[in-house]
Amino acid sequence: MICISNRGLAGGLASHHCWPVLAEVRSGAAQAALAALASAAAQPGRARPLRLAPLHMDVHAGNIIHNESGLRLIDWEYAGDGDIALELAAVWITPGERRRLVEAYARRAAIDAQLLWRQVVLWRPWVLLLMAGWYEMRWRQSGDRQFITLADETWCQLDNERKG
């Protein structure tokens, strides 16, 4: 049972929500990327679920096991239901590999590849925002400089992808 009191869940969430927004503490690319995302989110036709499914949300080589029956995903701690395009936007691969993955997935799932790709492109900035925030939070928790370096790189990647 979860304790909801001021010392329990409510207190814990409230204390985290009192922290400054991570990007407000930062400058440059983070500020520009967040402003662009906020503006884009208000526009019609933005990312809406194409097809809902259970999502892993941490697909990378370290979470894939190959066995005689094929590929299996492990480490489901970030899993939840959501848009399949969000999952494809979050897979840790190069942009060229992502395009090929989306095309192959569309064929396998009988989905229009262009529609799926557009949806992946719409979700990609949000994935980068989540990644940058995760790195910054890990830096705050651990003090490990590698996380703030990764956050900076992700903010720059988000800003670069936003600019095209």
Residue range 48-92, pLDDT digits in tens? 788 999 999 999 889 999 889 888 999 999 999 999 999 999 998
Tell whether 126 is covered by a domain: yes
Tell whether 8 is covered by a domain: no
3-class DSSP state of 22: helix
What is the model's pTM?
0.75
Tell whether 150 is covered by a domain: yes
Q: How far apart are CA 127 and CA 123, in angstroms?
A: 6
Label residue 3 by pLDDT band (50, 70, 90): very low
Tell whether 11 is covered by a domain: no
Contact 80, 55 (CB under 8 A): yes
Average pLDDT taken over every residue of the chain? 81
- Please give the average per-residue pLDDT across 136-161, as a whole number: 91
- The confidence score (pLDDT) of residue 163 equals 78
Phi then psi for residue 111, to 5 deg, are -120, 145
For residue 119, is pLDDT > 80?
yes
Tell whether 103 is covered by a domain: yes
- The confidence score (pLDDT) of residue 116 equals 94
- The confidence score (pLDDT) of residue 40 equals 64
- The confidence score (pLDDT) of residue 93 equals 86
Determine the structural domain holding residue 108 and report its residue range: 23-163
Q: How far apart are CA 102 and CA 89, in angstroms?
A: 9
Tally of residues, the chain: 164
Number of domains the chain contains: 1
If we measure between CA atoms, which residue out of 36, 85, 26, 34 comes closest to residue 57? 85
Tell whether 130 is covered by a domain: yes
Tell whether 14 is covered by a domain: no
Q: How far apart are CA 43 and CA 26, in angstroms?
A: 26
Tell whether 10 is covered by a domain: no
Q: Which CATH number does the domain housing residue 68 bear? A: 3.90.1200.10
Dihedral over Cα of 149, 152, 158, 162: its sign: negative
- Strand pairing partners for 53? 82
Name all contacts of 92-99 with Cβ < 8 Å and 24+ positions apart: 92/59, 92/60, 92/61
Distances, alpha carbon 145 to alpha carbons 28, 54, 148, 152, in Å: 19, 33, 5, 11
